Amino acid sequence: MYPDSGEDPPTEAVTLEQALALAVGWQREGRLDAAEPVYRQILAVLPDQPDALHFLGLLEFQRGHEDAALEWLARAVAVAPGHAGLRSNHGNVLQTLGRLDEAEREYRAALAAEPALVAAWNNLGVVLHAAGRRHEAIEAYRHALELEASSAADHHRLATLLERCHEYEAAAVHHRAALALDPQHLGATRALGHALSRLGRLDEAAVAYRAWLALEPGHPLAELRLAACGGAPAPARCSDAVVRGLFDQYAGHFDAHLRGTLDYHAPERLADALALVLDAPAAALDVLDAGCGTGLCGPLLRPYARQLSGVDLSPKMLEQAAALAMYDALETAELCAWLNAHPGAFDLLVAADTLCYFGPLADFAAAAAAALRPGGWLAFTLETHTEALDHRLNACGRYSHAPDYPLRVLAGAGFGQLRSQPVVLRRERGAPVEGLVVLARRPATPGYACAD
């Protein structure tokens, strides 16, 4: 009963419980070849022994034999339907295989048998979260913490979900609880400042961001967020690393979030404004979608374009844009440097929700003027504020601008036919985000502004 275990077998008979304990110990050490024959020999004598069925099922899953694992586990459940640990482990296997409804059933069966089983409450929370049932998931995680509040990871997991439900006060409480248990917990350190900034507690947020920088010196997002809550001078624009990291992470659900959650319509507002100044679409223009992201502007610009190009800092966003088969060229680059490297290349340059990552706009205006041909149009959106500041880095990490500021900058860069229109760009937490659609034209003759 002890094949190739690396240990000498005992010289006297062992009980079933002793044999199982040895096999389970070997399995947990990863010595599957030693454990498996023990389970099979037990089952040869006792075909319905639930622990042998249970752990052999888990062993088969460790080997990657999914069908065999589920067969052994189902047999174990049939024999011992009230075995909480078995039902919870069966749920873990089903969850890993993406069979969430079945996994939920198993976790609930485990909890019916043993209501204080912390692992089952946590795993039920994971399944409910994956199924989009966030508030139910929060309650499951809370049950787990009420039973055993000793895990920083569990507090952080609950806090993260509370943030996604905009329950920032409760999230901050659990982030702090995680840090009380593990002061080096990087996830809680990173997230605490965000929750506090959402609550408007910027001085506390600055302390949290400094703690993040103590763990990760020079981290570009931590530096930006520290500046955004007033703890350091604001940079002229968000760094390439911040923008790339943010949107690479965001790419897979960007469109659904913007359209479904934020009611985002900046591309349509730009298209409406351009229709008032451009000739009817005739596929005759060389067009640049600046900060094109996933390509939300592409279908609106394509009718005007002989050549439609896109540039963005995020490779993951550009992968989404490429899948539209709408663009003739897509490049990963920082916008101003890229514009300066393409003088006189475009008849139309559009930037939807791109300049919220820029503070001063003079460099962008000069680069856009250089990249446009005489008579070419520039159109963009930006967020606005009512303070006596040309530009401001907000606690969310985006910039807003005074309504008259972009027109002054564009005039200084030689643009004419300046016009702007107030719009609602999207909604956040139920409130409108106010902004502008701005249009400007490069003079048709160098040195002369275009007539309005």
- In the chain, CATH 1.25.40.10 covers 16-228
pLDDT at position 250 is: 74
Kind and range of the H or E run holding 175: helix 168-181
| Closest C-alpha to 121, from 149, 88, 95 | 88
Looking at 2-11, 49-58, 199-208, which range is the least confident one? Answer: 2-11
Band of the pLDDT at 452, cuts 50, 70, 90? very low
Categorize the per-residue pLDDT at 12 as very low, low, confident or very high, splitting at 50, 70 and 90: low
pLDDT in tens, 124-167: 999 999 998 999 999 999 999 999 877 899 999 999 999 988 89
pLDDT tens digits, residue range 293-340? 999 999 999 999 999 999 999 999 999 999 999 999 999 999 999 999
Level-2 CATH architecture, domain 245-441? 3-Layer(aba) Sandwich (3.40)
Domain with CATH 3.40.50.150 in the chain: 245-441
Percentage of residues in the chain having pLDDT higher than 70: 94
pLDDT, mean of residues 228-256: 88
Q: Which amino acid does the sequence have at 57? A: G
Mean pLDDT on 224-243 = 94
Q: Residue 325: its pLDDT value, please?
A: 95
Q: How far apart are CA 108 and CA 363, in angstroms?
A: 59
- Measured CA to CA, the distance from residue 74 to residue 63 in angstroms comes to 18
Domain spanning 16-228 has what CATH number?
1.25.40.10
Token pair of 284 as six digits: 């005759």
